[in-house]
Structure 1
């Protein structure tokens, strides 16, 4: 039976290939090409952002492994005994009774050489504010990774150039993704109890540079993302398109909010601004973070999952910080203590001396964050929300425990603007200049080099940096007095603006001179006064030497001497020398290292120029003499 005409026609149509109109075909091909290019770009953006995270995780993992080996070595008795034996052999070979060390007799360890190289101070104007080769390496490495990832496949965009997808917009998207990729690292490096610090053992003061560097890249790439998106809209839609983007489009509005937040974070983190207006910096930081995070949520809702890991890092840091307020050991020995304690504050010339009962142990060179919550400060309520770092000026061996097992932490706070100025006004209203104040102590944090192995120690301080030095000096003398320290000679070089601002601290240092005399340690204290060199008044001398044990001749001659430098001839009082001007670091440090009769240690705590000068002079001799260096970082 032959097919019907209709069936035959249908079969012929089905067997005939379809040839669309050329215009329709070009549109379909363009749509397919655009879809393929878009998917390829989106996949590339995700892959590069993920690869960046893997690089960061790999760096942290390597540092964590290094930290594990260090902890095991520190707590392994056999390892410690081996190091002590090696040290004894080195001392015997070098000849401890010689007058110094011959240049060819000492061979610095590879770790000392590497440490001296990567932290060698940079004083060239081409350094752009970078302090050492390690910072230069981090900047160059981050530049290579971020710029390389941005340009990785951006220029390979082969889709149709149109208002939504074009080469300019593709660059903008890649920069936006890479800006977002910095966020986990920025948050993971935030705070003084960060997860990175916990894993690597690197103090938060050293991690701060990496935090600022990743935050700077986040801001820079975010700005490039915004500028590229703006230029793309202007190219295809003109000024009306730009106005529509930022006035009527949520993408533009949330983008501007994030840029403003990043500006607040970066501008108020600039060191001169942060040091001058620290409270403003804290408020701007909180506001900036909120603007950035909320902006990300509304800018690209699909990126909310990228906030979960940074949020976890932030929660970890907050919980660890809370534990530092109520426990003695962070995450290790949860021996709880009351977070709120009553301290004794005394106002003296230019400073506040604070005695804080503390249940637990602390070590030389550590510091703590203090917050004041006393009802008498209601007239200045903004003090309640501030937490500032201060060096602990003593060690537990310097105080006696009370019936609750608490010892007094000692803080010497220089009165400046802000919290310390308001606190000084509160104390000035008291007849005695002293008062009991409720406060919290977060910490302690940090530490210093173990001084037991060193024979001669040079301590250099500038201004309030003497607080860090005082705790180290107390620890050195306590160990020497109990015969488990090699220290035989200690020299303290302290620079201040006026003698009157240092009266109380000088009194404590002279008491240290008494301890050093009894322990058989030669202690030299040099005070450099930068603003005038007038002789101290009799009242100042009397305050400095009050309760100071001394031979009878001191009491007979005190009134007749015009300067502190010559008011006594006893070994204790002779420890102090007062000089005008600033110390010549380029002379003091080399002579100390070259004349040391054993292993020497140089410690500096104070303004950055002074610390850099000490580092520069010391690193010149690390490969020649057995000397170690410690620069105490103490920055808000």
Structure 2
């Protein structure tokens, strides 16, 4: 519940209730502005503003850090360009990959900091917190909020009456501090938030701060409500409390805001949010409306506090619209249509979507897809929502149209909600295909530059294979063009059923052919957690159907063995795939891969949080002994 201004509390403090003495009602209806009350009001406002200044100062420091990193990144990008030119020159001289300088084995300062800050917490006493950074943020927020609330709240020495008393003073301070969280909460809302724009911090990390400050807003609002109710109960008894909540706009708007906070907090819990995402969105929007409208009518003088948060929200929405028209192209005075016609195909357990895209994107990026096809107009779960999906390819591996467009490839696992509605729509088509109108917002994110690594381990869980597929395509493209150090790539993929992965496995086998031609050793291991533990003959036929023909004998001699085989089942390209039952032993796979690597190693993981945390735990133990880098891609909604 938002804070009560002292002058507006008068009406609630003096209800005309039978049973109250004339003296008490007279005292409640008289607002006395003493020196102590004026001091208390100024203190409340100054403390709320001081809290804002601290948050602004932290964001300013992070912004300076981001500017410095951008400058360093641009310089690094220029060095990489020079390195590419040098490597191409060496290729012409016949030197190719032998010209790279040896690598050291000393962990960088940033890698050490990553190991400390993001070290997974496995203790049950962590209360669901994932790393030391989250623990620090929680402790810092406790120190700030509790310190500001208790600083002078208990020092009220003015005359005790129904409007000004120690209990009510605590309520007012908690209300002000609850309101002080609002600008930061909204400034961190959304994938194009102002804080993300200034600091460069990924949305997935800002979301924790957003939820943390929102939790403090809810907690302080509840304390404000409870204290205000207790003050009313002490001075006017149960009848006064009933009159406050049932017949006074302060109590009524307070109830509306409490309901909004309950919706926000309950449906934001991870188990509920992940299982009922569509319901979470509806509840979140409803809760925000109840809270904001409640604040406006609860204390009209606080409307000015909503102007800045409203500006933050408008900024995020405008940036989201710009991303739909392509931000980078917009700066070059080139535009792309926000609404395009995509080709969707229903395959085994997934929907393959090919979207014409004008512009470039990088490996490891993702987009938000919003289907606006008329066939979904009566389906709110599709029409009013956008969902993030990893791009499963890179433009260098696609053929450009005459108009400069490339096909973005998305592989969407069929689950509940939007993907199920989309799959049902395609199932009605005789061919399992349909053209759908959609918008593409992005691309967002990115992946670690893989050119500097000799051996790469890609660990994916479920739909995380899309992120891995784009990185794999980029790695092989660079290796084939001889400006990459990659000599070995290992892909670990965990799925529930092998039949639902046939199309993706077939694409990975195509990548195995490219890897063999580029001189890169590729190993693909599929772990099946449910259902069949080995593929059936029918699945094998589907898996090897439509594979490209083996290389011709005219290629280099190292590929002659592939060209001489009469069956794909005898080819080393097929040997790249191994299907295993159960779950991968991350604690064995990661250390052995890094320890046996010949050169610098990169470990990439994309999938469920538990798997990502397990990979991070193993890699952080190896930073000091081996030249290994880690990338964790999380796409939590």
The answer, yes or no, to whether TM exceeds 0.5 is yes
The 5-angstrom pairing of residues 413-562 of structure 1 reads 413-548=412-547, 549-550=549-550, 551=562, 556=567
Q: How many positions carry a matched residue from both structures?
A: 584
Quote how far apart the aligned CAs of 1:258 are. 1.0
Question: 2:384 maps to which residue?
Answer: 385
Q: Deviations over 1:506-555 (max 9, x none)?
A: 00000000110011111110011111444423332222212322357765
Tell me if structure 1 keeps the 8 A contact 2:489–2:522.
yes
Aligned-partner SS, 2:511:
helix
The 5-angstrom pairing of residues 336-351 of structure 1 reads 336-351=335-350
Instruction: Measure the CA separation in 2 of the matches of 1:330 and 1:284.
Output: 36
Tell me if structure 2 keeps the 8 A contact 1:33–1:160.
no
Q: Deviations over 1:121-157 (max 9, x none)?
A: 0010000000000000000000000000000110110
Tell me if structure 2 keeps the 8 A contact 1:533–1:579.
no
Tell me if structure 2 keeps the 8 A contact 1:122–1:130.
yes
Quote how far apart the aligned CAs of 1:569 are. 3.2
Aligned-partner SS, 2:173:
helix
Tell me if structure 2 keeps the 8 A contact 1:532–1:580.
no
Aligned-partner SS, 1:337:
coil
Tell me if structure 2 keeps the 8 A contact 1:327–1:334.
no
The 5-angstrom pairing of residues 177-192 of structure 1 reads 177-192=176-191
Aligned-partner SS, 1:190:
coil
Quote how far apart the aligned CAs of 1:275 are. 1.0
Question: 2:323 maps to which residue?
Answer: 324
Quote how far apart the aligned CAs of 1:472 are. 0.6
Question: 1:366 maps to which residue?
Answer: 365
Aligned-partner SS, 1:528:
strand
Q: Which has the larger radius of gyration?
A: 1
Instruction: Measure the CA separation in 1 of the matches of 2:217 and 2:31.
Output: 34
Quote how far apart the aligned CAs of 1:119 are. 0.2
Quote how far apart the aligned CAs of 1:330 are. 7.8
Instruction: Measure the CA separation in 1 of the matches of 2:534 and 2:300.
Output: 70
Instruction: Measure the CA separation in 1 of the matches of 2:611 and 2:178.
Output: 36
Question: 2:596 maps to which residue?
Answer: 595
Distance 1:111 1:538, change over 3 A: same
Aligned-partner SS, 1:40:
helix
In structure 1, runs of 5+ residues without a counterpart are: 1-26, 89-95, 559-567
Tell me if structure 1 keeps the 8 A contact 2:119–2:617.
yes
Instruction: Measure the CA separation in 2 of the matches of 1:118 and 1:355.
Output: 39
Instruction: Measure the CA separation in 2 of the matches of 1:555 and 1:237.
Output: 93
Distance 1:377 1:51, change over 3 A: same
Quote how far apart the aligned CAs of 1:106 are. 3.1
Tell me if structure 2 keeps the 8 A contact 1:391–1:411.
yes
Tell me if structure 2 keeps the 8 A contact 1:392–1:468.
yes
In structure 2, runs of 5+ residues without a counterpart are: 1-25, 88-96, 551-561
Distance 1:605 1:358, change over 3 A: same
Instruction: Tell me whether 1:579 sits opposite 2:586 in the alignment.
Output: no
Aligned-partner SS, 1:341:
strand
Instruction: Measure the CA separation in 1 of the matches of 2:163 and 2:618.
Output: 59
Question: 1:629 maps to which residue?
Answer: 630
Question: 2:553 maps to which residue?
Answer: none
Tell me if structure 2 keeps the 8 A contact 1:368–1:391.
yes
The 5-angstrom pairing of residues 292-307 of structure 1 reads 292-307=291-306
Distance 1:357 1:277, change over 3 A: same
Question: 1:254 maps to which residue?
Answer: 253
Quote how far apart the aligned CAs of 1:266 are. 1.2
Quote how far apart the aligned CAs of 1:254 are. 1.1
Quote how far apart the aligned CAs of 1:349 are. 1.1
Instruction: Measure the CA separation in 1 of the matches of 2:493 and 2:313.
Output: 39
Aligned-partner SS, 2:151:
coil
Quote how far apart the aligned CAs of 1:329 are. 2.0
TM-score (normalised: structure 1): 0.88
Tell me if structure 1 keeps the 8 A contact 2:364–2:447.
yes
Quote how far apart the aligned CAs of 1:601 are. 0.6
Question: 1:5 maps to which residue?
Answer: none
Distance 1:139 1:300, change over 3 A: same
